[in-house]
Structure 1
Amino acid sequence: MFTRADLGKDERLDLMEFTLVLEHLGLSWTRAETQDRFEKADANLDGFISYAEYRAILEAQGWV
């Protein structure tokens, strides 16, 4: 899923790509909720979600 959502093929997700992942997972969060979770997941505060950060989200939610 991460690779498919990584439209820029730069091995990281921006907010729009992260939103696509959520939609694929069937999650319908508000824009504010999505932004909040994106910022919390962005552990190194670079404005992107790396694969490691993505994996941490999935593990925290019990999805892996």
Structure 2
Amino acid sequence: MTENAVLQLRAERIARATRPFLARGNRVRRCQRCLLPEKLCLCSTITPAQAKSRFCLLMFDTEPMKP
């Protein structure tokens, strides 16, 4: 699995959770890389590319929990 900042934040949030995540859609089996439902996952078709662009993503504390 390719690690990125959002997946790292999600793992940290799950690690410090005091109760299970039971929001809408919690029963759907999701790809652990893109967080889409496994039936809709396109990870196997992605070709890595080099880019010189950068961006900053600002997120609220619970935002990484929303696929």
Q: TM-score range by the shorter chain?
A: under 0.3
| Higher RCO structure (Cα 8 Å, ≥6 apart) | 2
Q: Which has the higher strand share?
A: 1
**Which structure has the larger Rg?**
2
Q: Which has the higher helix share?
A: 1
